[in-house]
């Protein structure tokens, strides 16, 4: 994923991107919409992007594999373990 620091962008572009806090910003090429920029301030959008990240998907797959192999503990077991260690 490409990351750009907002402070490294020219002022007009920074201002246009900051406007995406209020509504999606559509970037056109030759009059045709090509890109949409949306703010990640919207928690639902951020959650969606995280849920689609390959590393997150891999961690979910690994957790499911551990469960299938019986390598998981119940919530009660975890609570019991940490209740003992805090006494």
pTM score, whole prediction: 0.45
Q: Which residue has the tokens 């077991």?
A: 77
Between CA 41 and CA 36 the distance in angstroms is: 15
What residue spans define the domains of the chain? 1-40, 53-87
- C-alpha 17/C-alpha 48 separation (Å) is 20
What is the reported pLDDT for 20?
87
- Dump pLDDT digits (tens) for 46-80: 788 888 888 989 999 999 999 999 998 888 988 88
Reported as a pLDDT band with limits 50, 70 and 90, residue 3 is: confident
């Amino acid at each position: 994923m490409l990351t750009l620091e907002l402070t490294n962008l020219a002022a007009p572009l920074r201002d246009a991107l900051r406007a995406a806090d209020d509504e999606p910003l559509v970037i056109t090429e030759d009059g045709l919409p090509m890109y949409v920029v949306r703010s990640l301030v919207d928690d639902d959008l951020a959650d969606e992007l995280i849920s689609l990240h390959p590393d997150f998907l891999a961690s979910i797959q690994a957790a499911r594999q551990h469960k299938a192999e019986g390598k998981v503990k119940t919530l009660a077991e975890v609570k019991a373990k940490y209740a003992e260690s805090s006494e």
